[in-house]
Amino acid sequence: MKHPFNTVFHISSFCFGHCRKLFKVLTFILNDWSVIRRVIAMAEKLVPVVCPWCSVGCRFYAVSVNGYIRKIEFDYDHPTVNRGKLCPKGVASYQFINSSKRLKKPLKRVGERGEGKFEEISWDEAYRIIAEKIKEIKETYGPEAIAFLGSEKITLEENYLVHKLSKAIGTNHLDFPGRYCQYSNAPARTKVFGSAPATNPFEDVAKAELIVIWGHNPAETAPVFFGQYIEKAVLDNGAEMVVIDPRATRGHKYASIHLKPYPGTDLAIALAMLNVVISEELYDREFVQERTVGFEELKESVKDYTPEWAEKISGVPAEDIRKVARLIATKRTALLVNEGLNQHVNGFEFALALANLIAITGNIGKEGVWSGVFPGAQCGFCAAMSGIAPNKLPTGKLVTDEAARAELERLWGFKIPDWVGLDLTSMIREIGNTIKMMYIVGGNIAKSAPNSKWVQEQLKKLDFLVVQDIFLTETAKYADIVLPAAAWFEKTGTAISAERRVQRTYKAAEAPGEAKPDWLILVELAKELGLGEYFKYEHPDEILREINSVIPVFKGATPEYLAEHPEGCFFPCTEPGEGTKILFKKGFKTADGKAHLQPVKWREPPEMPDEEYPLWLTNFRQVGHWHTGTMSFESPSLKKRWPEEYVMINPKDAEKYGIKSGDLVKVETKRGSVLVRAEVTEHVREGVIAMPWHWNVNVLTLEETHEITKMAELKAVAARVSKVEE
Ligand SMILES: Nc1nc2c(c(=O)[nH]1)N[C@H]1C(S)=C(S)[C@@H](COP(=O)(O)OP(=O)(O)OC[C@H]3O[C@@H](n4cnc5c(=O)[nH]c(N)nc54)[C@H](O)[C@@H]3O)O[C@H]1N2
Ligand SMILES: Nc1nc2c(c(=O)[nH]1)N[C@H]1C(S)=C(S)[C@@H](COP(=O)(O)OP(=O)(O)OC[C@H]3O[C@@H](n4cnc5c(=O)[nH]c(N)nc54)[C@H](O)[C@@H]3O)O[C@H]1N2
Ligand code: SF4
Ligand SMILES: [Mo]
């Protein structure tokens, strides 16, 4: 790794042997840090970048010296979403990039799968082996034995290429770990409103009268959004806040009401809220009449779901449910819902109930309200909007739509498979059966997918696994070939934030060793596969220009517009310009332009506490860590402040099981067990235990999925806890 200080020290030691006088001068300079700082500052470049972590989409400068990032600098120069502010991860974002553990050469497995023994090979050899294997598997089993994963961590351009390459190879088995992210809310909102993304820009949250934070902890998972927009609503504009979470979260201090449901039971609360709003006739009559269909069927479906019924299921007092329902019906509301609700098998039914509630209370299609999916990573939308899914084309149409396929075949020049592929959990399930090969770009499913011991056993059964990552992850340890990718600050491309803001980020550093940007790896592999004529790109701008002509919502997000407008544009941006800030002001995206209200029924979580496993176990994120930790554990300042996993236990439960804070405890579910320290705290409700998920929680979760959304049970499982003698 080139480092400016190393260079200075090399020069000084050389001089020591040759010229004492010069050495004296040099040591004088070395002792005077201000001179050194000035010398380095002269070589410094401020490169504008988008933050590599969450979907708030903060901008700042990477301070680059000689291709090496020294630190970050705040951007007060542009109308950025963060207005110069950053959270602890943003400030530390260059640290993992500079980690000595970054992958630097392609690797070939020499030991057993999962053992992590590899030898270094050349790029040419890596491409040759992968191309030969793809050919062999296609000939023996057909292209439907091959599955691809895109990523929330790679750019829009790179996700588009993953999609294009998988289809050029002939498979629709295409998904990404974001399957475990927004895939309850997204299909439900599409069903009701015809489209899933958030309806309003962040600035509208600051204008809301009521902020409902439901199964979401933006103070830790979208901290600058919380500080710049949510706190502003409460502190400056007098908005009321309601929190619905089995835990007390950091935003909790502003809340006038805190409902604490048992995990996985929020559907009962949402149904009861619909019941209250309809039976008390608090709904927006005009809106329901003019802009929705299906009200009578909805009314009929929720008539028995009283708050008293919901109290028995969720543990939330009926009167509190009434209070919150009345507030939502009478105030301009920002409904911030996220993974506490998405990541359940019954998350789809919850999201349908919530979309109904938003529609009948008229909290949509105007200023000062907020709802919609909140893809958590800087490029969650890059994957979703380039159609990384088993049933989609990048145009947003379905693979089964013959006309849409034909249109794309004309643009791309090759035949596109017409069958619906497998979602991520089904792919894992089919390993050892129909799935023989996986190509994983920027995903750590050995740790991020549910029931990880099972996932790891399944990965062992693959004929061939390619992992393209920046670190040797838990998943990479199962790979036959590991490809070293350039990281976020080492490439130019497009990111998309949760408020639909499309922005450019620029290359600020050189990748370590022989690592290459993901887009380039895919282009070079396509050439080796004989598909080079469809992948003639020499710069990400050329890929973005193709995206401008293929994906209608990005037509106006041209490289030129984004370069001139660092603040980006809001998709849909059908021509160069600001794009669409507020959705559904006139009609919805359904065929008749109306919101289609959906009757909903109560559905139990797949696993409930019983005598053997008497507690609910859920999990959450910490502000200082990112998912499976590949990047944040490699950021020294973050690892120091947030050092280890633990389990939150309510004092009443702790007493029952004889557990004190700091005790080593065993947390068990039917899938497995983990050992962690206990934190006895009122911050989690009785009957529920909660762990940060960055370490080992997925050993405990459940891979059962919803039949439509394919969402697994990642947040509510039955568990038990016991003290371990040390
Ligand atoms: N620091 C940090 N920020 C991130 C990420 C990260 O890994 N680290 N990841 C990003 C990504 S990809 C995403 S999707 C977002 C996710 O952002 P969030 O959804 O905010 O993330 P979580 O902390 O997983 O879950 C939110 C809350 O749900 C609560 N909860 C758990 N189960 C239930 C339940 O059954 N009902 C209710 N009502 N609440 C429940 C938890 O206690 C937690 O406080 O964060 C993004 N931002
Ligand atoms: N129990 C439980 N499980 C969960 C969740 C939960 O709340 N609870 N949350 C779910 C959610 S919301 C999500 S989004 C998923 C996330 O699941 P994953 O996406 O599998 O998790 P990450 O750890 O973010 O993995 C991203 C990988 O990309 C690599 N990477 C980073 N930058 C680059 C790059 O430029 N190029 C390449 N090629 N690789 C790169 C990282 O090193 C890392 O290995 O996890 C899900 N799993
Ligand atoms: S809030 Fe998100 S985008 Fe902003 S600095 Fe923090 S991690 Fe980066
Ligand atoms: Mo996510």
R_g of the chain computed on alpha carbons: 26
Separation of alpha carbons 609 and 615, rounded Å: 6
Tokens matching residue 125: 């050899």
For residue 59 and ligand 3, the question of a CB distance below 6 A is answered with no
Residue where the block lists tokens 């809310």: 185
Residue 203 has pLDDT above 70, yes or no: yes
Contacts 24+ apart (CB under 8 A), 107-112: 107/472, 107/479, 107/481, 107/482, 107/484, 108/480, 108/481, 109/479, 109/480, 109/481
Q: Which helix (H) or strand (E) holds 122?
A: none
Residues 226 and 361 grouped into a single domain: yes
Measured in Å, residue 192 CA sits from the centre of ligand 4 at 22
Residues 274 and 353 grouped into a single domain: yes
Q: Let me know if residue 672 belongs to a domain.
A: yes
Measured in Å, residue 375 CA sits from the centre of ligand 4 at 6
Separation of alpha carbons 508 and 105, rounded Å: 21
Residues 290 and 143 grouped into a single domain: no
Residue 27 has pLDDT above 70, yes or no: no
Residue 32 has pLDDT above 70, yes or no: no
Residue 148 has pLDDT above 70, yes or no: yes
For residue 487 and ligand 2, the question of a CB distance below 6 A is answered with yes
Residue 485 has pLDDT above 60, yes or no: yes
Dihedral sign for Cα 298, 303, 307, 311, please: negative
- Residues 6 or more apart whose CB falls under 8 angstroms from that of 612 comprise 720
Query: CB of 311 within 8 A of CB of 318?
Result: yes
Residues 212 and 283 grouped into a single domain: yes
Distance from chain centroid for Cα 36: 41
Q: Which atom of ligand 1 is nearest to the CA of 244?
A: 38
Average pLDDT over residues 63-88: 93
Q: Let me know if residue 17 belongs to a domain.
A: no
pLDDT band at 2 (very low <50, low <70, confident <90, very high): very low
Closest to 350 in 3D by CA, of 185, 183, 597, 180: 185
Measured in Å, residue 469 CA sits from the centre of ligand 1 at 24
Measured in Å, residue 720 CA sits from the centre of ligand 3 at 35
Measured in Å, residue 153 CA sits from the centre of ligand 3 at 14
Separation of alpha carbons 202 and 146, rounded Å: 40
Separation of alpha carbons 337 and 326, rounded Å: 18
Residue where the block lists tokens 């972590």: 53
Separation of alpha carbons 24 and 27, rounded Å: 5
Separation of alpha carbons 62 and 549, rounded Å: 31
Query: What are 617's strand-pairing partners?
Result: 689, 717
Residues 400 and 341 grouped into a single domain: no
Measured in Å, residue 230 CA sits from the centre of ligand 1 at 16
Neighbours of 286 (CB within 10 A): 9
Shortest-distance ligand to the CA of residue 50: 3
Helix/strand/coil (H, E, C) string of 497-508?
Answer: CCCCEEEEECCC
CATH number at 173 reads: 3.40.50.740
Q: Let me know if residue 41 belongs to a domain.
A: no
Cα–Cα distance list, 580 to 25, 201, 229, 499, 512 (Å): 60, 9, 20, 11, 39
Distance from chain centroid for Cα 389: 15
For residue 625 and ligand 1, the question of a CB distance below 6 A is answered with yes
State whether residue 218 is helix, strand or coil.
helix
Average pLDDT over residues 708-717: 98
Measured in Å, residue 599 CA sits from the centre of ligand 3 at 38
Residue 11 has pLDDT above 90, yes or no: no
Closest to 163 in 3D by CA, of 378, 381, 379, 389: 389
Separation of alpha carbons 448 and 523, rounded Å: 28
Q: What are the two backbone dihedrals, phi and then psi, of residue 443, each rounded to the nearest 5 degrees?
A: -150, 145
Separation of alpha carbons 473 and 626, rounded Å: 14
Q: What are the two backbone dihedrals, phi and then psi, of residue 26, each rounded to the nearest 5 degrees?
A: -65, -40
pLDDT digits (tens, 9 = 90+) for 570-628: 999 999 999 999 999 999 999 999 999 999 999 999 999 999 999 999 999 999 999 99
Residue where the block lists tokens 């080139």: 2
Residues 144 and 222 grouped into a single domain: no
Query: What are 516's strand-pairing partners?
Result: 485
Q: Specify burial of residue 407 (Cβ count, 10 A radius: 0-12, 13-18, 19+).
A: middle
Query: CB of 175 within 8 A of CB of 537?
Result: no
Helix 123-141 vs helix 518-528: crossing angle, to nearest 10: 60
Residue 18 has pLDDT above 90, yes or no: no
Average pLDDT over residues 115-137: 97
Cα–Cα distance list, 667 to 187, 262, 374, 713 (Å): 33, 18, 30, 17
Residue 3 has pLDDT above 60, yes or no: no
Residues 388 and 257 grouped into a single domain: no
Q: What are the two backbone dihedrals, phi and then psi, of residue 387, each rounded to the nearest 5 degrees?
A: 75, 25
Residue where the block lists tokens 């006739």: 281
For residue 349 and ligand 1, the question of a CB distance below 6 A is answered with no
Average pLDDT over residues 692-709: 98
Measured in Å, residue 221 CA sits from the centre of ligand 3 at 8
Question: In the chain, pLDDT over 90 holds for what percent of residues?
Answer: 93
Closest to 264 in 3D by CA, of 321, 347, 141: 347
pLDDT of residue 383: 98
Tokens matching residue 230: 């949510």
pLDDT band at 37 (very low <50, low <70, confident <90, very high): low
Q: Specify burial of residue 524 (Cβ count, 10 A radius: 0-12, 13-18, 19+).
A: middle
State whether residue 233 is helix, strand or coil.
helix
For residue 627 and ligand 2, the question of a CB distance below 6 A is answered with yes
CATH number at 717 reads: 2.40.40.20
pLDDT of residue 478: 98
Shortest-distance ligand to the CA of residue 624: 1
Our mutation pick for probing the ligand 1 site, out of 213, 221, 314, 638, counting the most ligand atoms within 8 A of Cβ, is: 221
Q: Let me know if residue 52 belongs to a domain.
A: no
Q: Let me know if residue 406 belongs to a domain.
A: yes
Separation of alpha carbons 531 and 541, rounded Å: 20
Residue 7 has pLDDT above 50, yes or no: no
For residue 699 and ligand 2, the question of a CB distance below 6 A is answered with no
Dihedral sign for Cα 678, 682, 686, 687, please: negative
CATH number at 243 reads: 3.40.228.10
Measured in Å, residue 253 CA sits from the centre of ligand 3 at 22
Residues 120 and 201 grouped into a single domain: no
Residues 361 and 453 grouped into a single domain: no
Query: What are 680's strand-pairing partners?
Result: 649
Residue 251 has pLDDT above 60, yes or no: yes
For residue 223 and ligand 3, the question of a CB distance below 6 A is answered with yes
pLDDT of residue 79: 87
Residue 23 has pLDDT above 80, yes or no: no
Residues 188 and 171 grouped into a single domain: no
Q: Let me know if residue 93 belongs to a domain.
A: no
Separation of alpha carbons 296 and 285, rounded Å: 13
Residues 111 and 190 grouped into a single domain: no
State whether residue 175 is helix, strand or coil.
strand
Q: Let me know if residue 96 belongs to a domain.
A: no
Closest to 198 in 3D by CA, of 497, 566, 598: 497
Helix/strand/coil (H, E, C) string of 352-376?
Answer: HHHHHHHHHCCCCCCCCCECCECCC
For residue 338 and ligand 2, the question of a CB distance below 6 A is answered with no
Residue 6 has pLDDT above 80, yes or no: no
pLDDT digits (tens, 9 = 90+) for 390-435: 999 999 999 999 999 999 999 999 999 999 999 999 999 999 999 9
Query: CB of 626 within 8 A of CB of 96?
Result: no
pLDDT of residue 28: 55
Query: CB of 378 within 8 A of CB of 503?
Result: no
Residues 405 and 524 grouped into a single domain: yes
Query: CB of 104 within 8 A of CB of 247?
Result: no
pLDDT digits (tens, 9 = 90+) for 301-338: 999 999 999 999 999 999 999 999 999 999 999 999 99
Our mutation pick for probing the ligand 3 site, out of 53, 85, 96, 505, counting the most ligand atoms within 8 A of Cβ, is: 53
pLDDT of residue 36: 65
pLDDT of residue 17: 41
Q: Specify burial of residue 136 (Cβ count, 10 A radius: 0-12, 13-18, 19+).
A: middle
Closest to 261 in 3D by CA, of 240, 276, 247: 247
Query: CB of 90 within 8 A of CB of 75?
Result: no
Separation of alpha carbons 31 and 16, rounded Å: 15
pLDDT of residue 54: 98
Residue 567 has pLDDT above 70, yes or no: yes
- Ligand 4 ion: nearby residues, β-carbon < 5 Å: 181, 376
Q: What is the pTM of this model?
A: 0.95
pLDDT of residue 285: 98
Least-confidence region, from 30-39, 383-392, 632-641: 30-39
Our mutation pick for probing the ligand 3 site, out of 224, 226, 637, 642, counting the most ligand atoms within 8 A of Cβ, is: 224
How many structural domains comprise the chain? 3
Q: Let me know if residue 113 belongs to a domain.
A: yes
Measured in Å, residue 216 CA sits from the centre of ligand 4 at 12
* Domain ranges, residue 631: 615-723
| Mean pLDDT rounded to a whole number for the chain | 95
